[in-house]
Amino acid sequence: MKTTRHQLLRSSLRWGILAGLFGNKMSLLNASQTGTGIRTGPAAMDGSQVDDWHAELTERIAELEARGGGTLELADGVYQISKPLRLPVSVSLVMTPYAIIRAQREFQGDAVIIKGGGKASKFCFHGGWIRGGVIDGNRQPLTGLRVESGVARMEIGDLEVLNALYKGIHVLQGGYETNLTRVRCDVELNTRYAPQSIGIHFEKGDCKVILAHVIGYEIGLRSDGSSNWFNMIHVWNYEKTQGPMKYCFHCNGGNNSFNQCYADSPSIAGFYITKPYQSMIQCRVYYSRWAKDNSGAGFLITPEGKYGSYLSNVLFADKEHRLANAFAGDLEGACILGTSAWGVMGGLENCIPSGTSIDHPPLNLTGSGVRLTPQAMPPLPEQGVLGELRWVDDGTASGLWVKTTRGWKKSELL
């Protein structure tokens, strides 16, 4: 019988690609298999018992670790557990898209999955993968995934952490390069977060988060580690039922960069900067449509958060919930250029720190130099800030005006 091209492709996908990703069918654990799991849970509404998969999964993890490392593979289905599932550094977890590890009600612990501990893999030196599927906190004040100190070179991707109301993903300090790619940390819109909750919390440095969504926490993302990269992250909430999001991004680690990140619906500040030398490029802030009118800040900078760069950012707000300030706080040493805004009442800045110290050398210009746009009328006393320069040309005389400690002073141009 002749094999068609279509049949050949289907066979290749079934046995080649899937086998490469999930091993072989014998090692792929399926929640619908009979005789697996331990029936110890409370009675379900239909009168049956709820499976507790903790012992089964822990046993399989121990077998993999004893062999020097390996990968626990879970197929579509719900795997309810009664206590934290620990993955040592030598064991990875790979799940199909509809595989769900769910915390039972009255869960006995503070995190659904804990990564860390144990001996390193005998096959290679890295912390392994957690990839695919869903980690479900079941609307409890839990952490969905906690990565413990000392884990290095770990990849987390294509993962959803659902209804872990305290923290979605928490990466402790120690080790390096725990990277997140294509992850979601979501609290359902009709569910209130736990007090002091954080969607993604990084205490570690030298890490990357790329393409993430965080929904429904008191703080969306917090970084306490230094030299981290955060790219294309959308943080938002539905305040009516979830509670207000104070800060979308709490930037509490030095030398971090935020590129194309969206701070959506903060009630105090989109970016709260408490450590120096941050870089914010092409980010957006949409002020909360439930916040008080003419309040809040897009970028709130503390005295400890100085010397940052803010380039080509945009801020906007509704007419009934206008944002008070684009930038607020201590702007010493801040480089702010190319900001655009609407629905913003004040705090718009364009500044390049220069000429004050070795940290801020003089600004050197090439080409045609600086071009000022002429004004027809002299500036009013209440206008401008100290050191501001304006060119006034009324058609009969031309002069430069400088805002000094004694007001505007004119220097005529001959």
Residues 342 and 375 in one domain: no
Together in a domain, 318 and 403: no
The CATH number of the domain where 191 resides is what? Answer: 2.160.20.10
Residue 58 forms part of a structural domain: yes
8 in any annotated domain: no
Query: Of 301, 331, 346, which residue constitutes the final position of a domain?
Result: 346
Query: Is 231 part of a structural domain of the chain?
Result: yes
Q: What's the mean pLDDT in 124-132? A: 90
Residues 258 and 379 grouped into a single domain: no
Q: Which residues of 379-407 are buried (b: 16+ CB within 10 A; e: fewer)?
A: beeeebeeeeebebeeeeeebebebeeee
Predicted confidence (pLDDT) at residue 34 exceeds the cutoff of 50: no
pLDDT band for position 367 (50/70/90)? confident
Q: How many domains does the chain have?
A: 2
pLDDT at 49: 43
Is the predicted pLDDT of residue 40 greater than 70, yes or no? Answer: no
Q: Is the pLDDT of residue 246 over 50?
A: yes
Q: Which domain holds residue 398?
A: 370-414
CA 187/CA 132 separation, integer angstroms: 18
CB atoms within 10 A of CB 292: 11
pLDDT computed for residue 194 by the predictor: 98
Average pLDDT score over residue span 146-171: 97
Residue 80 placed within a domain = yes
Is 90 exceeded by the pLDDT of residue 76? Answer: yes
